[in-house]
Structure 1
Amino acid sequence: MEKAILGLDIGGTGIKGGVLVKGHLEDIRSIPTPALESQEFILETIASFIETYAHYDFVGIGIGIPGLVDTREGIVLGLANIPSFQHVELKKFLTGRFGKPVFVNNDANCFAIGVHKYGVGKPYKNLVGITLGTGTGGGIVINGQLYSGLFSAAGEWCSASYLDNNYEYYCSGKFFQNFYHSKPKALAKQALIGDEVAIRAFEEFGHHLGELLKVIMYSLAPEAIVLGGSIRKTFPLFKKSLFETLDTFAYKTVLANTKILISEMDETAIHGAVALVDVEPDMVTI
């Protein structure tokens, strides 16, 4: 698309926006999410934020949210950390307000289609995107099309049982908080100066993440798995243990041909949101 597309990332702490113009993302800005306010107040806040981009005359609005979505109707079924945002007819509200096409999906799904459309996943028709941050999310692209599943819940391996909890507990910032009482960024600084405890933390994290990626490979055997989210920046610290764990994968030919990639995009959530508008006619949904 040559014309501008507006992308929004709506989370429990912030609402972030950006515009894709001629293939480039620009005018990134954000406001705090009024998370404890009423649904109506939050909707008006979102609308007011969108109005600040009106001069771009955008052709559509793509929105990623950390929760389940009825993607056909654009209904947010629930949004993490915002109590009032349950069963929100977001598409209907914004279409009525702005008269533009609106597409809503889970933020991890947005990440997957975003890296496929604009990032390191572009050469691959079949890929999985995994976001590693405060939590863990997954998105699936099959034959170049986003597969969202029922209520955008496809790819949520993070909620599957693992050890005494689930994969998210061991493959996100929660692991470092719960087992090492620190945030990944702080531990990474310690690891880089040789702190043995911090080094061990990332070695263990890499092992757990490797087990998650093995499940994904057994499930879908994608051409590529792309890692995103803030923890991706610490990849050199857990790369060795990750690949040591992946080496235990049963199908060696599959393993040898699966690419493990690190997303180069910092604004992946917004890139993914605009991709919803860019590719929506070809999306796979059920």
Structure 2
Amino acid sequence: MIEILSPTELQRAEASGSFVAHVLRTLRAEAKTGTNLLEIDDHARRLIAEAGAVSCYVDYAPSFGRGPFGHYICTSVNDAVLHGLPHDYALQDGDLLTLDFAASVEGIVADAAVSFIVGEPASAGTSAEDARMIAATERALEAGIHAAQPGAKVGDISAAIGAVLGAAGYPINTEFGGHGVGSTMHQDPHISNTGRPGRGFRLRPGLLLAIEPWVMADTAELVTDADGWTLRSATGARTAHSEHTIAITDAGPKVLTA
């Protein structure tokens, strides 16, 4: 399903995007050395309740997971990159943490993710590589957003993302990528993190897209934890993930989760 939102729905989408951005800013500021992942998850739950929003994750049960997810935010640490299931773990200095959060406000979903280093770097070399990898996903996200012009095609977004990640030397996994959002969290079109320009669905004003470049330092292969959800690099390499929800407008792409 691909939804094209009305102007009224797009106004509600802006509220959703602002809320998701607020939650990620709040939880990132609180993610310090010694913070437990379950504390982060519980604070996400409370922020959702206070805003009258609806979690996209707690009852989420897709075919690829061991659902329902049962938590309110994805917390992926170090070699975990996607769908990190919150568990009893206290963050340590130098951990590379990704927070991925989606929620619905007044019936419209926004989705975003951010990666960052917790506390003091574990070592200068590790810190520099982590920073380089995070920056590559952020640059790829910017490139993908810039390519998401009305009249362009999904392949143009994928090609822009892939060009940045490939130039930075990272292998690219195509199993999971960006996607449409609207009244539900995961919709068509799928947005691969690499591809050929000029192909796929033509972008129209009113379309909402979650664009999410992610990489693993030295592999494109994922493995799944025993929890049935958390996806990790097959080599144990560290990972990074950046994501925004955007609206396609007549004037160009508009970031809703900045």
TM-score by length of 1: 0.28
Please state which structure has a larger fraction of its residues in helix: 1
Relative to the length of structure 2, the TM-score reads 0.30
